[in-house]
Structure 1
């Protein structure tokens, strides 16, 4: 919301020397957000110019520039040559004879942009023909400013080349732009911002003048007929509870809006259009009530507010035909022909044109939810919808209509009809009992009773200090009609916030909290951090993906039809209709991040993610709607928890490309299945959890024969690792030989709960011995390793597979596995005889378990 300081000064007293920065700081002090300051930082010469000649010159880069001669009066004539200003311009929305805004050498535009004569496109350009955004007038950069279109032909005809454009456009005056939060809709008006700035000054008596405090005539039978039949078919909500209609006849359609009104609209970021439209926009900016003007001659004699019917459509003022929903609230002519989507935009059929003389002014109060739904449904955000969906003051409706009528009569030469329509079904805000000590208790600063009551009254609240008649600490507070955010059954926190911000956030004491003696991180948190650190240290980058997947995710991963991972929870209100399901595997969303990185030219990628998966184990019922007034009973809570799916925490890892880059040191090494097994082992080792690795013949989405099943010693499944199936890679558009792993962090958490028994370090030397075992090719190396461990005894420190050989000298269908066994005793140096006996026992155990024979 933009607000010129001169407009602010009409509604509240500004201390001498008040600048835009002072106003912005004052608004920030009462909880608003400063967006920007406009104007006041431009120095001339900025003048009116008339285009005398222009030549289009195509350039080699495909752009066509215009070489213009512009009359800027005495300001800009090149004294040395005695001719008019010559300027290069890239815009094409003006012609010879148009009045434009020209900035001349020596001027400084907003942002400190200094203007000087410079050579460009083969010419010396002595200045610049300006667009709106270049001088801080607006945000449009589609073309330059043409004053005949901006101000109207009548006003423009009074201008002369060389006139000061800074004064003409009000650019010397500062404009404060404020970002209005959703709960402060009343601040989308100068009325609301002026009240807030008045609060920042301490709410001095008589320092605020409400522009809506105007006398309005009472409704009478001569008013334009209006009927409200507008209940929502979705939730029974009434979309319109107040509708004011006023008629002004005999408006001179050739009269432009007054210059001061056009200037204020421009400073506020709106483009002047015509008198009727400008008046409605001006009043909306002034008091926050959107208005609409209908061409009375296009109406049949009765307005009906109703919901849309199936199949209806409306061509709105932006020339777009919009198909209407039964939940759209419409303004209709006689209940049949749609005239406007309420609170959003009017229709083209009843638009005020340059021949309109009789106008019906509409000022209505529409339901915020209804307008918000329509705005999102039609993907149309307007100045009116911004205000309605945040809440418009229902008590200002008649005053806004009266202000518009007065302006149309004064500046359009029209006559107001004596008939006044005001269909009012609004309900006054409900009063709530407030303990005046609550703001102090919540905020932590003592507020005297008189200070609390005074602030509430300054805010516009009605305060009955008798309360409920039983307790002096309580008062009965009725919020003002422009503050729907203060209505509710438990107002204490809301009023405490209001008291705190008006009294001054800077007065709230800063107290450093004293931390209590906590227990530190939980075991689960420690596990997650250690796993994340271990995987990151192994060279993988952590990412965060949204846990939402599409209908075809399970098919892309080639999950079997009977796989539990196909049972996904469907969201009732998904962020995207393309991803309505919750993931049952972290890998299903992690591959999306890998694909995006590869698509952006990254060849060597290694990613991991820790996150929740949602495993219902079958169809999940809908959670019951529980009451909010009382505690649910045990059966209701049980039904609620039963509908919540199991949510274990998983970790997933993916990699493609080179695991070790090539260079002068030698060839690189591509990532393969062993890297995935290693990263799971690394995570388990960081938790001192022993895991077993064995081949898994077929587990989607991994490649059969290149997938490892990883378990705890007791056989509990931890996860899988290996190379993804080629068909999965093709469906996911991932590089060939991409590898991945996914494991259950909750399983590792449970396995690591028991304290680890630290083994004393032995200072005696290790004894190393190698054995080569011949086994059938279908015997897993892990099984042979495990049997060696079991047979070697307590002196065994480690077993390492360091060579696998098959070929010449090896019986077909067999493979030679070479293991290095390390033995160490805690209290002595082992003898050769002891080491040999340990080795022989290990080999014997392997022979018994797997049929291995020593080579």
Structure 2
């Protein structure tokens, strides 16, 4: 929202203390009451001779690629009283002889440090420049030079100072308005906030006498009542279509970022900026019958003011006459009823539209507008009659129009309900003892009607009825926020809480940090993927119809329409991130994420409604906990591409299922638990390259290579691998590892066992470890061989064993006996034999 300071201060009765307030002080005042100021832009600077000039003659120059005019311009008087003229070369064509224009003479410096000097161009000597609005810093309009309206220049003479006339010493304040403060998209709303900040009185531009609507201007029928709570129109006839827009309106619109078009359109835009009520002007002669507000019908189309033919959706709200849709309600009018250069009979419309409906239309048709920007937030439902009256009077004053008696007003404003606030509630919330009457004073400043009373026990209370423009004030907490905001957040003391000694991270928090640190130290990159998923991802994963991972929780208002479910696994978001990185040139990718998944219960309890007036009871807290779905913390890893880079030392080694299992073991080591693996079948992993991760006999996750069909469906790199386990299922251990160095030497022995290929290596290794007893310190598989030497269906597994006694030097005989015990256990359980 852009607003000139001169317009803003005109709506506030400033005290002597603030009479000379500048733009920077106004910006500080806005910040004090919680508004965000993006920029303060002084106009100009414009220095030197910039004067009013009258075009005396125009000579058209030919022989150039574009039309060029050589103008004689009167810019003042000589000492003897004769007119003083200057020659200017100009390419604009929107002025004629006799027009008053703005001329920058040699020696003037325009915005952008653009110095004006005498120069020869197009075969002529130009001694100045006829200026456009953007060249003076009055906006972005460069469609032509600035012509001063003849109706306002009777008291002007060539040579008058244009800097003062145009207000080029003004400043523009630009603010970022939050969605809950739609009323601030107007001079009226911002002036009210400024008046509150300066403890001054507001000059309300909407406080005008509005005549009663005793008869209709035109028949109106509202069929879509939910989308249009109120619809008002008023008719002005006999408007002079050639009447120019007054300079003061044009200037304010330019500084607010709106281009001047015609008197009727400029008036509606001006009232929108001034009061915050978007309006539309219909050419009454182009209307066929009365107006109907309804939903669009299938197949209907509308040509909007921008010349685009738009196919309407049944969810669109439209204004229609007997011929069909003539306006896209709250967004943009139709071309068939546009006010033209011949229009003399104007029907002014001011309505209230449902914010959600307007927002959907804007996004559906990709048609943002200044009107929609306001309707998407909130527009004062009591404002339309005053806005119509203000616009009609401007057309009567500057366009010689005749305001027709009567006004059509369908619907009524829905006003906010009263809110009861304990008198001392702001004091208790802020921890500050405010002065007597502060609560009532501040609530009255924002427009509330206040009644002071007391409860049965004598507690003072304030019953505040919010104004029609503040639909966000619905509970005592909202009123408290307004009091604290206007008193100044800087008046609330800052007090650091006392640190209770002995409290630190919980065991679960320490484990999570240890897991994250361990994965990062081993080359994995942590990411924060999008937390919502599409139902189609479960089909891509190849999940069965009854797979519990398909049972999700839907989001009521998703950020993306096609991703409206909370994830039951971390893999969809991680794999999306993997695809994004590989599509941008990443070759070796190792990503991980630690986060919560949402697992609905078999019978999910409904969510209870708990107010904020008091602390929830124990029963209410228990009901809230019961209604929440289970949300365990998972850790997941995805891998693609080579695990090592190629070089002189050899070719690259591709990442495989073993690397996914290794990542799981890193998690287990960091958590201080022992992880075992068994072969498993679990979508979306490859059935022959999937390991179930276990702690003891309890499964905690899966790791391995993804199924080729999943890789193809999701557009993943070939042989993509993944691991996911439930971190909450790992037992918490108070792990404080300390290095232990044994003074006794180890005994190193190797053995090779021949076993069936169907015997899992993990189970055989665990059997050897158990059979070796306490003396077996470490066991490691270092070779796997299959061939004729070991027989069909067999394979040779070679292990390196390290034996050590904690209290003595171990003999070879003791180590050999422990090794033989391990071999015997493997033979009894798995049928393995010692290879010769």
Q: TM-score, normalised to structure 2's length? A: 0.84
Which runs of no fewer than 5 residues in structure 2 stay unpaired? 76-85, 118-125
Q: Which region of structure 1 is more displaced relative to structure 2, 277-286 or 661-670?
A: 661-670
Q: Aligned with 1:729: secondary structure? A: helix
Q: State the distance in 1 between where 2:667 and 2:312 align.
A: 56
Q: 1:307 to 1:754 in 2, by over 3 A?
A: same
Which residue in the other structure is 1:80 paired with? none
Which residue in the other structure is 1:176 paired with? 173
**TM-fit CA distance, 1:352:** 1.2
Which residue in the other structure is 2:699 paired with? 717
**TM-fit CA distance, 1:408:** 0.7
The 8 Å contact of residues 217 and 404 in structure 2, kept in 1 or not, is answered as no
Which residue in the other structure is 2:754 paired with? 775
Q: Which region of structure 1 is more displaced relative to structure 2, 304-313 or 263-272?
A: 304-313
**TM-fit CA distance, 1:830:** 1.9
| Residue 705 (structure 1) aligned with residue 688 (structure 2) | yes
Q: 1:556 to 1:763 in 2, by over 3 A?
A: same
| CA deviations over 1:269-300 (Å, ceiling 9, x no partner) | 10111001101111121111222222222335
**TM-fit CA distance, 1:600:** 0.6
2:575 to 576, 588, 591: 591
Which residue in the other structure is 2:431 paired with? 444
1:785 to 746, 756, 765: 765
Number of residue pairs the alignment of both structures matches: 802
**TM-fit CA distance, 1:773:** 1.3
Q: Which region of structure 1 is more displaced relative to structure 2, 431-440 or 311-320?
A: 311-320
Which residue in the other structure is 2:308 paired with? 320
Q: Aligned with 1:793: secondary structure? A: helix
Q: Aligned with 2:661: secondary structure? A: helix
**TM-fit CA distance, 1:53:** 6.5
Q: Which region of structure 1 is more displaced relative to structure 2, 28-37 or 425-434?
A: 425-434
Which residue in the other structure is 2:406 paired with? 419
Q: State the distance in 1 between where 2:468 and 2:633 align.
A: 49
Q: State the distance in 2 between where 1:249 and 1:273 align.
A: 19
Q: Aligned with 2:217: secondary structure? A: coil
Q: State the distance in 2 between where 1:109 and 1:721 align.
A: 69
The 8 Å contact of residues 55 and 68 in structure 1, kept in 2 or not, is answered as no
| CA deviations over 1:159-212 (Å, ceiling 9, x no partner) | 999999866765542111111112222211111111211222123xxx431112
Q: 1:291 to 1:638 in 2, by over 3 A?
A: same
Aligned pairs (5 A) from 1:397-416: 397-416=384-403
| Residue 29 (structure 1) aligned with residue 32 (structure 2) | yes
Q: Which region of structure 1 is more displaced relative to structure 2, 506-515 or 48-57?
A: 48-57
Q: Which region of structure 1 is more displaced relative to structure 2, 830-839 or 423-432?
A: 423-432
The 8 Å contact of residues 3 and 176 in structure 1, kept in 2 or not, is answered as yes
2:144 to 139, 143, 146: 146
**TM-fit CA distance, 1:520:** 3.3
Q: State the distance in 2 between where 1:128 and 1:356 align.
A: 35
Q: State the distance in 1 between where 2:211 and 2:382 align.
A: 14
The 8 Å contact of residues 624 and 636 in structure 1, kept in 2 or not, is answered as no
Which runs of no fewer than 5 residues in structure 1 stay unpaired? 58-65, 76-82, 88-92, 118-125
Q: State the distance in 1 between where 2:814 and 2:397 align.
A: 114
| CA deviations over 1:741-783 (Å, ceiling 9, x no partner) | 22222222xxx23555979935322413222213135033323
Q: Aligned with 1:175: secondary structure? A: strand
Q: State the distance in 2 between where 1:326 and 1:633 align.
A: 46
Q: 1:709 to 1:85 in 2, by over 3 A?
A: farther
Q: State the distance in 2 between where 1:597 and 1:654 align.
A: 12
1:292 to 271, 276, 280: 280
| CA deviations over 1:197-238 (Å, ceiling 9, x no partner) | 1222123xxx431112222222223x4144453455xxxx37
**TM-fit CA distance, 1:547:** 3.1
| Residue 268 (structure 1) aligned with residue 256 (structure 2) | yes
Which residue in the other structure is 1:122 paired with? none
1:259 to 247, 258, 276: 247
**TM-fit CA distance, 1:42:** 3.2
Aligned pairs (5 A) from 1:310-349: 312-324=300-312, 328-333=316-321, 337-349=324-336
| Residue 189 (structure 1) aligned with residue 186 (structure 2) | yes
**TM-fit CA distance, 1:628:** 6.3
Q: State the distance in 2 between where 1:664 and 1:814 align.
A: 37
| CA deviations over 1:17-38 (Å, ceiling 9, x no partner) | 4222221111111111102223
Q: Which region of structure 1 is more displaced relative to structure 2, 276-285 or 629-638?
A: 629-638
Which residue in the other structure is 2:204 paired with? 210
Q: State the distance in 1 between where 2:686 and 2:103 align.
A: 70
Q: Aligned with 1:34: secondary structure? A: strand
| Residue 362 (structure 1) aligned with residue 356 (structure 2) | no
The 8 Å contact of residues 415 and 467 in structure 2, kept in 1 or not, is answered as no
Q: 1:410 to 1:96 in 2, by over 3 A?
A: closer
Q: State the distance in 2 between where 1:25 and 1:561 align.
A: 60
Q: Aligned with 1:817: secondary structure? A: strand
| CA deviations over 1:628-686 (Å, ceiling 9, x no partner) | 68999999999998886544332221222222223455544332222211111111011
Q: State the distance in 2 between where 1:267 and 1:309 align.
A: 40
Which residue in the other structure is 1:798 paired with? 778
Q: State the distance in 1 between where 2:63 and 2:746 align.
A: 94
Q: State the distance in 2 between where 1:629 and 1:695 align.
A: 51
Q: 1:504 to 1:783 in 2, by over 3 A?
A: closer
Which residue in the other structure is 1:20 paired with? 23
Q: Which region of structure 1 is more displaced relative to structure 2, 194-203 or 97-106?
A: 97-106
**TM-fit CA distance, 1:466:** 3.9
Q: State the distance in 2 between where 1:633 and 1:322 align.
A: 54
Q: State the distance in 2 between where 1:225 and 1:834 align.
A: 109
Q: State the distance in 2 between where 1:359 and 1:166 align.
A: 36
Q: State the distance in 2 between where 1:592 and 1:52 align.
A: 64
Q: Aligned with 1:476: secondary structure? A: strand
Which residue in the other structure is 2:465 paired with? 478
**TM-fit CA distance, 1:412:** 0.5
Q: Aligned with 1:147: secondary structure? A: coil
**TM-fit CA distance, 1:495:** 1.6
1:495 to 467, 472, 479: 479
**TM-fit CA distance, 1:569:** 4.9
Q: TM-score, normalised to structure 1's length? A: 0.82
Q: State the distance in 2 between where 1:541 and 1:130 align.
A: 58
